[in-house]
Structure 1
Amino acid sequence: MLGVLRGPRQVLFGAGQRRALGTMTAGLGRRALVCTDARFGATPEFAELVQVLEEAGVGVTTYTEVLPDVPVHQVAQCAELAAGIGPDVIVGMGGGSCLDLAKAVAVVLTHGGDPADYYGELRVPGPVVPVVALPTTAGTGSEVTPVAVLTDPERVSKVGISSPHLIPHTAICDPELTVGCPPGLTAAAGADALCHAIEAFTAVRRPVVAEVGTERVFVGKNELTDVFALLGVRVITAHLQRAWSTPDDLVAREAMMLGATAGGFALGSAGTAVAHAIQYPVGALTHTAHGLGVGALLPYAMEFNRPARIPELAAIALAMGASPDASAEDLATEAIDRVAALLDAVGIPSSLADLGLPADQLRWTAEQAMGAQRLVANNPRPLDVDTVEQIVRAAYAGDRAALRDSSAAVHDLDEPDLTAAGGAR
């Protein structure tokens, strides 16, 4: 049995908790750099939060230019601004991109160099300027994760900086900040959060050895992340359509933010897999939102991995309200059907063709996806460029049944538990 869980030192969750921002930040220092985007930076809510900080005795410098998918040049731009004020703490407010920029700036501000010096896993040499994360969407879970995703023009796909040092010091999750979020953004963010929970719950299972938690950022599914993953599945699937159709429903908004944060805890230690790997090149080609891409791909990833994850998919079906009287095989099928139906109901495209992926770029997409080795290695069934292309082609055609023919002679990547044979603990 293995359990690995990492997270912020403290998480405040609930309606109105944003008003604790001043106290939480003042406990870390007296000079704060606040990172957000132009949309949120122009809202009364942002002005209120700045005032909360100032009333707590925190001097505030703002950077309100964060762009979607964080172009890497913004990290250097924002770090240069930060260097001039010497912040004690960096506050990220907004969607995942705003939080990711805050985390990346904290790395560069502390350790110097360029963001590219830290691409990959475990390349951040030590602690960074503390980050306080305050999400305004319910999707990425970046407020609790050890990764910052950036867009580098020298790379085809997105790149990530992954290290436990990137986990924010404090996360303040106030669902009132998501009330009124437009349906399209609600759907995309919710699909992303659901994908985090499901891919973490169905990820590869690694052996119980002492090194697993120190040599990897993402260790695969385990006892602790499974708890958060199933919580995410349960609350997201029960409330996504309601939040999408009724933007001011606070109960639904609370559930979606809880699900996104739970998904962040799950992926932060377990990691994600093939749906995320394929989305990176798909997003680069189609310029579509990350959540739309992983949402479109998720049922196909589940179908491909089904033979190696029957019990897990059955548990997902039960978390979604399926009858426990069905067989595990039938429940696994029902889980995929239910996920596909939910995503379709909130307007997530059901195929890569609907996303605009060019028909002549399917092999290229598979080749590029294989470059995301962190994600490929985390998939429960082994992947090579041909099997990834099978998933891409099925997802392009909108044909999940095509992946059922690939399940012959299945073996998974779960590694043996060495403790059963007297190995290291």
Structure 2
Amino acid sequence: MSADVFPTGVLRQPGTVLFGPGERRHLPRLLAGIARHVLVVTDARMAGSAVFTDLVAAVEAEGLTVSVFSGTEPDLPRENALAVVREYGGAGVEALLAVGGGSCLDLAKVASAVLAHGGDVRDYYGEFLVPGPGLPVVTVPTTAGTGAEVTCVSVVFDRERGMKVGVASPHLEPYAAVIDPELTLTCPPALTAATAADALTHLVETFTDRVKDVTPEFLDRHLYVGKNPLTDIFCRSGLTLLNTSLEAVVADPSDIGARSATMLAAYNAGMAINTAGTAAAHAIQSPIGALTGTSHGFGVGALLPYVMRFNLPARVAEFAEIGRLLGAAAPGAAPMEQARAGISRVEELLETVGCPTDLRTLGLDPGDFSRVADQAMLATRLTANNPRDLTHASVVEILRRGYDNDRGWWSV
């Protein structure tokens, strides 16, 4: 069978994944197997919770020394990484436990590299620049959306450069991920909505990504290697889960079944983006977030309707399958009709969780369109994944349509 009939698959993943309500019970034994001194990376909200206190006590009861860094800030400023290394470099830390949202998980991953190899996190901006394995990291997400618990990428906001920069390396892959949906029960509604929009965007972008020729040389130089049969499995599973779980979580935030399904979908999305990578919505959101101060999840969600329409001519079959997966496509309808139905259903899901679906709501100024396009085109690690080639002009058009809430269908 030729590769054209059955293309090859590529997948990156942590060594261990534990999923389910209450599965944080495994953490003490899991950590005791790799370290005697553990640095817990979290934020102030989580550090002040009873569940966090109990978690730390359980790890200490296993005979481990536990230090806590609770200063993680949203959008992970570079200063947080500098602070961790300044406070704990040379302290004998042997492993990191990340408990929190995406910024906490990303901080632990980059800190593990800098603690192991020295220097500044800036030394590792880009792909494949981490020289070797860092300290082992165990991730415990408290939100359902970023996928950072299973990815080997961390995104850092560098204030001096005025932009977010990625550190991408297989050496950032977590040692283990412990995914306990009970930890999302206290997640604030706005954060639940933003992370859900992020997960949905991950799944749509990876399922419609560019397919690449993954030669040994290409795999050795690039973290994101495109859509393939293995990532598609995770996308199909995640989209199917979100199709019902998002509405259920909004209806009853205490529904642990719906929380579990949403978190499983977010894990599926993380597994997909870890190999295939995100694309236009993520490339364009970064400069918008820097300008408007809006959340990453709401930013990519607000862009998604217009990015989907831009990409539709190149991915009719994939969007049609999304339409069928989400139960929106009429059986026997033409592929383009099914594809448009899929896009419309994705938009309904975004609106269900309260995600804005236009850029005016984010506070973006039309006078900044060109500047945003300039910055987006610099994110070549992401733009290279988009199924249609992006240009400065096409990004500006996506922004214009998004600002005007123009849901017309694009043609090539």
TM over 0.5: yes
Deviates more, 1:337-346 or 1:266-275: 337-346
1:364 aligns with 2:371: yes
Once the two structures are superposed, residues 25-77 of structure 1 have per-residue CA deviations (whole angstroms, 9 ceiling, x without a partner) of 11111110000000000000100110111111211000011100111011011
**In 1: Cα distance, 2:153 partner to 2:272 partner:** 13
Match of 2:343 among 328, 336, 361: 336
Amino acid in the other structure paired with 1:99? L
1:67 aligns with 2:67: no
Paired residues for 1:7-156 under 5 Å: 7-156=13-162
Deviates more, 1:339-348 or 1:139-148: 339-348
Amino acid in the other structure paired with 1:354? T
What is the identity percentage for the equivalent residue pairs of Structure 1 and Structure 2?
Answer: 49
Where does structure 2 lack aligned partners over 5 or more consecutive residues?
1-6
Amino acid in the other structure paired with 2:83? Q
**In 2: Cα distance, 1:38 partner to 1:346 partner:** 25
Quote the residue 1:5 is aligned against. Answer: 11
**In 2: Cα distance, 1:326 partner to 1:57 partner:** 62
Q: Secondary structure at the match of 1:363?
A: helix
Once the two structures are superposed, residues 291-347 of structure 1 have per-residue CA deviations (whole angstroms, 9 ceiling, x without a partner) of 000011111111100000011111111111234332211111011111112211221
**In 2: Cα distance, 1:156 partner to 1:204 partner:** 29
The Cα of 1:84 is off from its aligned counterpart by 3.7
Once the two structures are superposed, residues 180-224 of structure 1 have per-residue CA deviations (whole angstroms, 9 ceiling, x without a partner) of 322211111000011111111111101242333222100010111
The Cα of 1:103 is off from its aligned counterpart by 0.4
Q: With structure 1 as the length reference, what TM-score do the two structures score?
A: 0.93
**In 2: Cα distance, 1:180 partner to 1:65 partner:** 19
1:157 aligns with 2:163: yes
Where does structure 1 lack aligned partners over 5 or more consecutive residues?
409-425
Q: Secondary structure at the match of 2:89?
A: helix
Amino acid in the other structure paired with 1:13? F
Report if the CA contact (8 A) 1:276-1:294 is conserved. Answer: yes
Quote the residue 2:4 is aligned against. Answer: none
Amino acid in the other structure paired with 2:386? N
Once the two structures are superposed, residues 362-397 of structure 1 have per-residue CA deviations (whole angstroms, 9 ceiling, x without a partner) of 121111111111111110000110011111111111
Amino acid in the other structure paired with 2:71? E
**In 2: Cα distance, 1:189 partner to 1:123 partner:** 28
Once the two structures are superposed, residues 55-105 of structure 1 have per-residue CA deviations (whole angstroms, 9 ceiling, x without a partner) of 112110000111001110110110122214211110000000000000010
Deviates more, 1:385-394 or 1:340-349: 340-349
Report if the CA contact (8 A) 2:366-2:400 is conserved. Answer: no
**In 2: Cα distance, 1:255 partner to 1:212 partner:** 35
**In 2: Cα distance, 1:90 partner to 1:176 partner:** 21
Amino acid in the other structure paired with 1:29? A
Paired residues for 1:10-409 under 5 Å: 10-322=16-328, 323-401=330-408, 404=410, 407-408=411-412
Report if the CA contact (8 A) 1:139-1:192 is conserved. Answer: yes
How many corresponding residue pairs?
405
Report if the CA contact (8 A) 2:250-2:352 is conserved. Answer: no
The Cα of 1:244 is off from its aligned counterpart by 2.3
Report if the CA contact (8 A) 1:183-1:245 is conserved. Answer: no
Quote the residue 1:418 is aligned against. Answer: none
* Alignment RMSD (CA, Å): 1.1
Amino acid in the other structure paired with 2:118? G
Amino acid in the other structure paired with 2:290? A
**In 2: Cα distance, 1:5 partner to 1:370 partner:** 26
Amino acid in the other structure paired with 2:121? P
Question: Segments of 4+ in structure 1 off by > 6 A?
Answer: none
Report if the CA contact (8 A) 2:246-2:352 is conserved. Answer: no
**In 1: Cα distance, 2:218 partner to 2:204 partner:** 21
